[in-house]
Amino acid sequence: MPHENLTGLPESMRRNLPHHAREIHRAAYFSAEEQYGEESRAHPVAWSDFEDEYEKNANGDRMEK
């Protein structure tokens, strides 16, 4: 199962997202996967939840809104 823990996230997410952002994404992913029963739908839902909380700053870093 993808994202079983924070180290199971893709390398790009582990490297570029703050710890709290990774936690949000992981929780949203599991919630969406449980609700929809499809991994393919869980990814976009989880990313959408993450983007509700974070945005890129002028340097391209993800920051809380």
Q: What is the pLDDT of residue 3?
A: 59
CATH superfamily of domain region 6-64? ChaB (1.10.1740.70)
How is residue 47 written in tokens? 């990313």
* Residue 54 pLDDT exceeds 80: no
Q: Rounded to whole angstroms, how far apart are CA atoms 64 and 45?
A: 18
State how far the Cα of 30 lies from the Cα of 10, in Å rounded to an integer. Answer: 15
Q: Are 15 and 6 in contact (CB under 8 A)?
A: no
Per-residue pLDDT, averaged over 48-61, amounts to 77
Q: What are phi and psi of 30, to 5 degrees?
A: -65, -40
The most confident of 13-17, 38-42, 61-65, by mean pLDDT: 38-42
Answering whether pTM is above 0.75, one says: no
Largest Cα span, the chain? 37
Residue 8: its pLDDT value, please? 77
